[in-house]
Amino acid sequence: MLAQPHPAAHGDIFMQHEHDQYDDSQLQLEIHFASLGLSDEAQPLGGEMIVANVAFPSGENVVFHHSGFFKGPQRFRDQYEEEPDLPMPDAVMRANAAQSSGCAGQWSPRNLLLSELLARHNMESGVAATVKFPWLGLQVRFGPAVSIAEAKTMVLVRKLLSPAVPVPEVYGWRRAGGQNFIYMEPPAPEGVTLASRWSTISEEDRRAICGELRNMITTWRRLKQPDGVNAFIGSVDFSPLRDEIFASEKQTAPTSPGPFPNVATLHSWIATAIGSSASLEGRNHPAEELICHVQQRDAVDSAPIMFTHANLHPGSVMVSPAPSRPRVLSILDWDQAGWYPVYWEHAKALWAASSPEREGWDARYLSRVFEGI
């Protein structure tokens, strides 16, 4: 079930349990999945389209009490009088301070002060932080730039496309102090990023990885926008796009990036953003750089709208570690995902791969990943 958390007093990592409140949106979600004949283990393959009719839980504070976190190993019941709850935001920030200072688990006045300083830094810089609770099988991503749309995207992909597209399970989300907190399963704890293995794997394994990624892109492109909704470009919860190219501090477009009713409106918005930054010294607007990576015929107003990861690169792909052959274990970094023009996935992957440390990935292998799709 879903529960809306009640405020709790400051204390240990495990705060008081939240009272269960059955949410109608969860009932709608379960009915929809039942109608599809899908479960967490289902694999919707084949050429059929998959309608993204997902009624996301409402509210800024949601806990999935039916998730794997609350069905964890017996060690939970061996160590605690009650089953542990998801850490409250203040406990997450204290853990972040302790881990950052190298004193994990030690709640000292120094760490409390560091927690406040880190929170202030995160708010001012807009960065996202990640705190790991390995003994709980839990990872928390938080910060002012973290969006609940990211959590909802992961819920959608896991429910509709797993295991064809492997993503971490979301346990819930909360909001406190102007920051969002996403509670999730650690992404493939036994894995490593493709970026860390890329230079050491064989040509055969590189091609195999490209094939796996191509199949996953093909799978999530089978998602279709919800029934009864006019076509749009935006995040899965109808909020604005969160692609990093729109987040430039020097971007002065007059409106937020979406949601847009069609591709033509997106292109007009980009043209305005490019024009507003044209006077910047020696610097192209990121959107202009991205558009340069696609053929002019692809970036047309009639381009179809597709579900898009929008941040696919070797650092966002978890693979099995050496000495085993690399196989994709999980896809990460769904914070920029949403509904985009069909060309966006490939163009954004090329744009992201233009950094020197990923040399060769774009020149030789991205064409394999996107071959035929």
The confidence band for 350, taking pLDDT boundaries of 50, 70 and 90, is confident
Task: Take residue 312 and report the two structure tokens written for it.
Answer: 């696919």
The confidence band for 353, taking pLDDT boundaries of 50, 70 and 90, is confident
Last residue of a domain, one of 133, 163, 184: 184
Whether residue 197 is found in the same domain as residue 104: no
DSSP bridge pairs for 140? 131, 183
Contacts of 69 (CB under 8 A, 6+ apart): 86, 136, 137, 138, 169, 171, 183, 185
User: How do strand 50-51 and strand 223-224 relate by DSSP bridges?
Assistant: parallel
Would the pLDDT of 207 be above 50?
A: yes
Q: Check residue 280 and give its pLDDT.
A: 46
The helix/strand count (H/E) of the chain reads as 11, 13
Q: Check residue 219 and give its pLDDT.
A: 98
Whether residue 197 is found in the same domain as residue 169: no
DSSP bridge pairs for 175? 180
Q: Check residue 284 and give its pLDDT.
A: 64
Last residue of a domain, one of 132, 153, 184: 184
Whether residue 343 is found in the same domain as residue 310: yes
DSSP bridge pairs for 202? none
Last residue of a domain, one of 153, 184, 215: 184
Mean pLDDT of 212-226: 97
* Residue with the larger pLDDT of the pair 272 and 261: 261
> How far, in Å, CA of 196 to CA of 290, rounded?
25
Whether residue 207 is found in the same domain as residue 115: no
Whether residue 114 is found in the same domain as residue 67: yes
Considering the chain, what is the average pLDDT of its residues? 79
Contacts of 59 (CB under 8 A, 6+ apart): 4
DSSP single-letter state for residue 11: -
Q: Calculate helix-pair angle for 109-125, 89-101, nearest 10 degrees.
A: 100
Strand segments (E) across the chain: 2-3, 50-51, 62-64, 129-133, 138-143, 170-176, 179-184, 192-193, 223-224, 305-308, 317-319, 328-331, 338-341
Q: Check residue 342 and give its pLDDT.
A: 95
Whether residue 40 is found in the same domain as residue 123: yes
Q: Check residue 73 and give its pLDDT.
A: 60
CATH number for 324: 3.90.1200
Whether residue 132 is found in the same domain as residue 29: yes
Q: Which value, to the nearest 10 degrees, does the dihedral of the CA atoms of residues 90, 92, 95, 99 take?
A: -130
Total domains in the fold of the chain: 2
Among 67-76, 166-175, 227-236, 333-342, the minimum mean pLDDT is found in 67-76
> How far, in Å, CA of 314 to CA of 294, rounded?
20
Would the pLDDT of 156 be above 50?
A: yes
* Residue with the larger pLDDT of the pair 8 and 237: 237
Q: Check residue 14 and give its pLDDT.
A: 30
> How far, in Å, CA of 373 to CA of 371, rounded?
6
Contacts made by residues 367-373, CB under 8 angstroms, sequence distance 24+: 368/207, 368/210, 368/211, 368/214, 369/210, 369/213, 369/214, 369/217, 369/312, 370/214, 370/217, 370/345, 370/346, 371/214, 372/214, 373/214, 373/217, 373/218, 373/221
Whether residue 174 is found in the same domain as residue 197: no
Q: Are 332 and 191 in contact (CB under 8 A)?
A: no
Q: Are 221 and 307 in contact (CB under 8 A)?
A: yes
Domain carrying residue 337: 192-369
Contacts of 178 (CB under 8 A, 6+ apart): 123, 144
Within 10 angstroms of residue 279's Cβ, the number of other Cβ atoms is: 7
Whether residue 107 is found in the same domain as residue 137: yes
For the whole prediction, is pTM greater than 0.95? Answer: no
Q: How many residues does the chain have?
A: 373
Whether residue 16 is found in the same domain as residue 144: yes
* Residue with the larger pLDDT of the pair 310 and 81: 310
What element of type H or E holds 311?
none
In angstroms, the first-to-last Cα distance of the chain is: 38
Whether residue 59 is found in the same domain as residue 78: yes
Task: Take residue 249 and report the two structure tokens written for it.
Answer: 């501090």
DSSP bridge pairs for 35? none
Would the pLDDT of 201 be above 60?
A: yes
Whether residue 200 is found in the same domain as residue 348: yes
Would the pLDDT of 82 be above 70?
A: no
